[in-house]
Structure 1
Amino acid sequence: MNLLLEFPITDEILTSYALAIGADLPGYRNHIYRVLNFYRAICGIEGLPSEAVQIAGAFHDLGIWTDQTIDYLEPSVRQATDYLDKQHLSHLSSEVATLILEHHKIRPYAAEHALSVEPFRRADVIDVSLGLLTFGLPRAWIKTVKSTFPNHGFHGMLLRQTARQFLRSPLKPLPMFRW
């Protein structure tokens, strides 16, 4: 599988949120690029993923910065929906919202938009697990993706945010996870 080095829709969206994301921008961008490349590999796509997947990729964790919370799924959906409305892409709202809301689902996703949501969920799991979970992708290829798009502190930021959440709400340390 070839590696894609550019996702123009993602970059356009991230540029508009650069101030909100701040110093975490390189890490978040590379996380999205890794996820989108893993998604492509899982689906067997040679070119760009669908517009809905690229947009969801850009927004899927964005609420961490826009709303300064680890409970970021709803804020991320809100940001994505605003973007889709402004871009006259409201017809993508259901799929984009589902991609974002279900990307941390613990069990496989099999409802509406499953053909895009489940591979997106798996792609995110591959990245968040640092490649420990592969969903059948070759470890060498995962390593190539990771070295092409380095972490830039993204996982460390997630750990710090999770630790803060645990101290604030020990009974709900990972509010973004869904059954």
Structure 2
Amino acid sequence: MKPILDFPLTDKILTSFALAIGADLQGYRNHIYRVLNFHTALNGAEGLPSEAVQIAAAFHDLGIWTDDTLDYLPPSIALATEYLDSQQRPELKDEVSALILEHHKLRRYRGAYTNSVEPFRQADLVDVSLGLVRFGLPRPFIKTVQSAFPDHGFHSMLMRLSAKQFIRSPLRPLPMFRW
């Protein structure tokens, strides 16, 4: 398995949010690229993932920067919905929203769009866990993807934000997680 090296649709979306993301842009982009590669491998697919998956990937954590919050699922969905409206793609709203809303679900996802949402949830967890959780993906493939798209401080940034959130709201330290 070779990693996919270019996701033009995702890059186009990210470019429009470059100022909001600031210094974290390369780290977030590489996180998205790792997630998209893991998603494709988990699906056993060839080529680029669906447009819905690529769009959701671009927006899935974006509220961290646009709304300065770790409770970023609602603002990320709102941004994706605005984008889909601007692109006249209302048929993708439900799937993109589900992809974003459920990507931190702690248990297996079994709702609408299971074939895209569950591998996306798994792919994000593979990346966030630095490959400790693999869902059957071969370690060499994970290492290859990680080498192709280095961290650039993404995981450190998540740890800093999580520590701030814990201090601010100890009873709700990780508001993005869902049962």
Q: CA deviation at 1:121?
A: 0.2
Residue 54 (structure 2) aligns with: 54
Q: Figure out how many residues of one structure are paired with residues of the other and give that number.
A: 179
> How far has the Cα of 1:69 moved from its partner?
0.2
* Partner in structure 2 of residue 99 of structure 1: 99
In angstroms, what is the RMSD of aligned CA positions? Answer: 0.4
Return the offset for 1:117: 0.2
The CA distance in 1 between the partners of 2:9 and 2:55, in whole Å, is 7
Q: 1:59: how far off? A: 0.2
Q: Report the Cα distance in structure 2 between the residues aligned to 1:126 and 1:163, rounded to whole angstroms.
A: 21
Residue 157 (1) aligns with residue 163 (2)? no
Separation of aligned partners in 1, 2:45 and 2:63: 28
Between the aligned partners of 1:170 and 1:149, the Cα distance in structure 2 is: 33
**Alignment-mate amino acid for residue 133 of structure 1:** V
Superposition deviation, residue 120 in structure 1: 0.2
If the length of structure 1 is used for normalisation, what is the TM-score?
0.99
User: Partners of 1:77 and 1:60 in 2: how far apart?
Assistant: 7
Structure-to-structure mapping, 1:2-151, within 5 angstroms:
2-151=2-151
Deviation readout 1:124-164 (Å, 9 max, x if unpaired): 00000000000000011100100110000000000000000
Aligned 8 A contact 1:2 1:46 in 2:
no
The within-5 A match list for 1:157-176 is 157-176=157-176
Could you give the per-residue CA deviations for residues 89-110 of structure 1, whole angstroms, max 9, x where no partner exists? 1110000000000000000000
Aligned identity (percent) is: 69
Gaps of 5+ in 1: none
Equivalent residue letter for 1:129: S
Q: Is the 8 A contact 1:7 1:48 kept in 2?
A: yes
Deviation at 1:46, TM superposition (A): 1.1
Q: Counterpart amino acid of 1:138?
A: P
Unaligned runs of 5+ residues in structure 2 are none
1:33 Cα deviation (Å)? 0.1
